[in-house]
Structure 1
Amino acid sequence: MHVYEDPATWAPERVRPKGQLVFRFVLTVLYTPVQIVMWLVALVVFLAICLITEVITVFSSSYERGLFKAGDRVLDPLSKWPAWCVSWPEMRHEGDIAYYRARVERVVGRWTEKASAPRVPKKPRPPVECAIPLRDYRGVGGAYVAQVAVAQGWEPRPTDVRKEVRLWWSAASHID
């Protein structure tokens, strides 16, 4: 049996102790400026490299694509919060099922709105796949995310529910 098929993993996460949440929140407040500075330094270094190697990109499109991929690999992880971070709403609403239900419905609703938007010519297609992170459904479990998503036209994908719930917009296969 795969992890994503085990019903026990789709249950809500247990409520974390208040002291642990406060400690993690304080660490988050101290860590956030450091992360922002690291992101800005990486961006400045990347832009400096781009300016220096601009001459090469004029002659080689593959070098330019590689440079953009490298930028994505460096800057994307720095723009995401680590799993141990705790935000103010998470600390205040830990264990509040109604809050997490509303949060899941809001997040899935936003993704549904994006995915069901009509395609605009010369623009990228609307997203057909999404991932709902654990911090959005911790209090209600992945099963509730799947229930709300299926009601809005999404299909659950193989996923590790302890980290995220991956969804696929099923109407995308019918639209061109």
Structure 2
Amino acid sequence: MDVYEDPATWAPERPRPKGQLAVRFVLTVLYTPVQIVLWLVALAAFLVVGLATEIITVFSTSYEQGLFKAMDRVLDPLAKWPSWCVSWPELRHEGDAAYYRARVEKKVGRWTKRASVPRKAGKPRPPVECAIPLRDYRGVGGAYVAQVALAQGWELRPTDVRKEVRLWWSAAS
């Protein structure tokens, strides 16, 4: 945490009202099947377009790259939950600091395990950057994420703590 940052932004978020969480959970349950169907329809559309234009891709690599970029732009947002969605564990454990501490330790530990794997020849480099979303640390605050991450060898990156904490694996340099 840099000295110019407001320490209040690194504190735990206030627990949300149970009624509001219950409404968001019901909306999430209703929205998730729609999101899955939209993702499948978009994937099917890209597969149909890709198969129909296979002849063009033989002659033009830029068309293929453009198709992949368009597919990423459409499918990636559909694969992520909106920020208003609430999962069952979030509904049950809202305000439970011990649950969020365990969640942060598990998430940072998983990223540490991935980043600390030695690089093998011919394989892609292990990830050196990660982002821990607010949904994983809202009950303990960004300061706890920073504390756990620094203890495991991560460095903080410029970040908006109200959305996520960005980390960089310092052993990668």
Question: Which category describes the TM-score, using the shorter chain as reference length?
Answer: over 0.9
- 2:54 corresponding residue in structure 1: 54
Which contiguous aligned blocks of 4+ residues in structure 1 show a shift greater than 3 angstroms?
Answer: none
Shift of residue 121, structure 1, vs aligned partner: 2.1
> Which one-letter code corresponds to 1:62 in the other structure?
S
- Counterpart code for 1:64: E
* RMSD, aligned CA: 1.2
Q: Measure the CA separation in 1 of the matches of 2:5 and 2:78.
A: 31
The 10-residue stretch of structure 1 (20-29 or 116-125) with the greater mean CA deviation from structure 2: 116-125
- Is 2:33 aligned against 1:33? yes
**Aligned residue in 1 for 2:71:** 71
Equivalent-residue separation in structure 2 for 1:153 and 1:170 (angstroms): 6
Q: Distance in 1 between matches of 2:36 and 2:112?
A: 30
For residues 14-43 of structure 1, the C-alpha deviation after alignment (integer angstroms, 9 at most, x for no partner) is: 000010111100000000000000000000
Q: Any unmatched runs of 5+ in structure 2?
A: none
Gaps of 5+ in 1: none
Identity, % of aligned positions: 83
Alignment partners' CA distance in 2, 1:147 and 1:66:
42
| Matched residue, 1:104 | 104
**Normalising by structure 2, what TM-score?**
0.96
Aligned to 2:147: 147
Q: TM-score, structure 1 length as denominator?
A: 0.94
Distance in 1 (alpha carbons) for counterparts of 2:117 and 2:62: 33
**Aligned counterpart, 1:120:** 120
User: Comparing 139-148 with 53-62, which one deviates more in the overlay?
Assistant: 53-62
Q: Output the CA distance in 1 between the equivalents of 2:25 and 2:92.
A: 11
